Amino acid sequence: MKISIAFLIAFLVSGCSVTPPTPFHIGDPVPPVQGCADYRTRGGNCWSLVNALQTVLDEAHAAHEYITDEEQHKREEHWVISLKGDCEDFALWSRQRLEQMGIGSDLVYAVTEKGEVHVVLSVEGWILDNRFRRLARRDDLRYEWIRIGRPDGRWYEIES
């Protein structure tokens, strides 16, 4: 596993706190969807969570310009809500867009199949990732899941 010490220090110094592990495990069953089969009810209307997530992912990919923090901010790590940036900026923008729609999400810190440090957004087991244009199930990605960041700013270790 390739994790830069500088990344971890920057990650911890950036205001994110790491707290004791929670009972979240990759592969835990995704909660059943309420309402109309695979749809949700909001204001008396049915809507699909998967369609909403894919729409946000499409919006993000259409406008995203990948640029490293080193190139853009002259730092190894700098997290901002923006579609001009790297994976965590993409995930933060997607989180903000979903919040506007009333959909909660979690940031997830992972290591990819290539050993690269990566951040994605997770909603009920669905992953929004700047590396892929299609929505993915978390179990379909060959990532090592490390930490989950809740909307309140707390981070938890993921037990595998």
Based on the structure, what is the number of domains in the chain?
Answer: 1
User: Mean pLDDT over residues 143-156, rounded?
Assistant: 93
Task: State the residue range of the domain holding 83.
Answer: 35-157
Residue 20 lies in a domain: no
Residue 18 lies in a domain: no
Question: Is pLDDT above 50 for 10?
Answer: no
User: Mean pLDDT over residues 33-55, rounded?
Assistant: 67
Residue 28 lies in a domain: no
pTM metric for this prediction: 0.72
Residue 50 lies in a domain: yes
CATH classification at residue 88: 3.10.620.30
pLDDT: which is higher, 5 or 73: 73
Question: Is pLDDT above 70 for 81?
Answer: yes
Sign of CA dihedral 131, 138, 148, 40: positive
Instruction: Give the separation between CA 100 and CA 21, rounded to whole angstroms.
Output: 29
Residue 4 lies in a domain: no
Q: What is the mean pLDDT of the chain?
A: 78
The answer to whether the CB of 87 falls within 8 A of the CB of 120 is yes
The answer to whether the CB of 126 falls within 8 A of the CB of 136 is yes
